[in-house]
Amino acid sequence: MKIAPNLSPAKKAPKFEDGSSLRIPSLQILNQDGSVIAGATVPDLSRAQATKIYSDMLYIRMLDERMQSAQRQGRLSFYMTCTGEEASVAGTIAAFQPQDMAMAQYREHLVLRYRGFTTAQFMNQLFGNLDDLGKGRQMPVHYGSRELNIMTISSPLATQIPQASGYAYGQKLKGKDACTLCYFGEGAASEGDFHAGLNMAAVLNCPVVFVVRNNGYAISTSCAEQFATDGIAPRGPGYGIKTIRVDGNDILAVYAASVEARRIATQEQRPVLIETMSYRLGAHSTSDDPSGYRSKQEEQIWRDKDPIQRMKNWLIAQCWWTEESDTDLQKSYRTEILAELKLAEQRDKPPLGDLITDVYKSVPTHLLEQFQELETHIAKYPDHYSV
């Protein structure tokens, strides 16, 4: 293992490197019409798994449409969509095993769907009701599931990156046949936690796969304003991490890269970086208006590269899917989602006492005192609260 910089004498005049010559190509297997690019190697993907991946991508598109509308109707306080980036998420999670820990940023709810999160569970979290796994203590879209090995999402950007390195190091020390999968956007790669997390993973040879979704914008800040390098992928080799860039709208390319990434992480016990090149077709969140920083013409270019349409074209070419199947599934999902939405918003909220549980084995005195003050205040001004 190389543990020191190359200090061999220079034989020529000083030459400085600025990284401008480093260009990492994107792996692509599928054309937009569903045909396979000449010479490309198609990954081993069964009909059952392929249709599951596609069905889950379609489900999330339907969920996003319905819940964004619910937020606009005032039924939900906040929402974030995965629209346009479904293949980047589905193609990665499908290559990993249930025992692998998944740490998401906030746009990867397809990870939960793929592992079995139900429509009712999505709705309970979004409305923070009595049946919410997080007991109503998180804002909407901050999902998590101990049962499914999915770490609860948090708002602070990039904090999951060093956490993923640390968790993966623990998996390594325990000799587990598992790794950690960590998602984040290219904007999060501008945070210090990105560099700390990748360096830790490289130095300690942690079995972690980092997936950076390069979707063009960190809210309103374009890639051109974020960094001068060729995306995020060139940073991987700088840390000594095996790296690949893929067409993030090409489900087969993402899946193929992810299968190999997991093999490297678990068998070679070392980190991997995958950069998926995609585009956020929707707003950053329901609090954002993308028309203020990008054009409709730009959006249309990427709408024509829709990852769901591309995979559907491939499935139809394989005789694994039909337009009729697609229409029926969309109708079924819309009906299911709307029904569970109506049920979830009618469920009671969690008891107020849940505010101070689960952190300590025994609730400390100062929290009990604060809670009693809160109860007294609510009793004095009952009209100000709905608990």
- What would the mean pLDDT of 121-139 be, rounded to a whole number? 97
Share of the chain above pLDDT 70, in %: 97
Question: pLDDT tens-digit profile of 295-353?
Answer: 999 999 999 999 999 999 999 999 999 999 999 999 999 999 999 999 999 999 999 99
State how far the Cα of 76 lies from the Cα of 368, in Å rounded to an integer. Answer: 31
3-state secondary structure of 30: strand
Q: Which of 109, 245, 280, 310 is catalytic?
A: 280
Instruction: Mark out the alpha helices in 77-118 (DSSP H runs).
Output: 86-93, 109-115
Q: Which amino acid is at 338?
A: L
Tokens of 380: 């004095």
Share of the chain above pLDDT 90, in %: 91
State how far the Cα of 332 lies from the Cα of 353, in Å rounded to an integer. Answer: 38
Q: Hey, what long-range contacts does 219-222 have (CB within 8 A, 24 or more apart)?
A: 219/187, 219/284, 219/288, 220/284, 220/288, 220/290, 220/292, 220/293, 221/187, 222/293, 222/294
Q: Which of 284, 333, 377, 385 is catalytic?
A: 284
Evaluate whether 168 touches 203 at the Cβ level (below 8 Å).
no
- The closest alpha carbon to 32, from 330, 264, 253, 306, belongs to 306
Strand pairing partners for 277? 214, 247
Residue of 378 and 11 predicted with greater confidence:
378
pLDDT of residue 14: 87
Radius of gyration of the chain (CA): 23
Q: Which of 23, 72, 263, 293 is catalytic?
A: 293
Evaluate whether 80 touches 285 at the Cβ level (below 8 Å).
yes
The two beta strands, 221-222 and 217-218, are antiparallel
Q: Catalytic annotation on 284?
A: yes
- What would the mean pLDDT of 148-177 be, rounded to a whole number? 97
H or E element at residue 27: strand 26-27
Q: Catalytic annotation on 143?
A: no
| Reported confidence tier of residue 19, pLDDT bands at 50, 70, 90 | confident
| Reported confidence tier of residue 20, pLDDT bands at 50, 70, 90 | confident
| Range in 14-18, 197-201, 238-242, 341-345 the model is least confident about | 14-18
Strand pairing partners for 213? 185, 276
The contacts of residue 206 (CB under 8 Å, 6+ apart) are 165, 166, 168, 169, 172, 180, 200, 270, 271
Please, what is the average pLDDT of the chain? 95
pLDDT of residue 238: 93
Q: What is the pTM of this model?
A: 0.94
| Reported confidence tier of residue 8, pLDDT bands at 50, 70, 90 | low
Q: Catalytic annotation on 142?
A: no
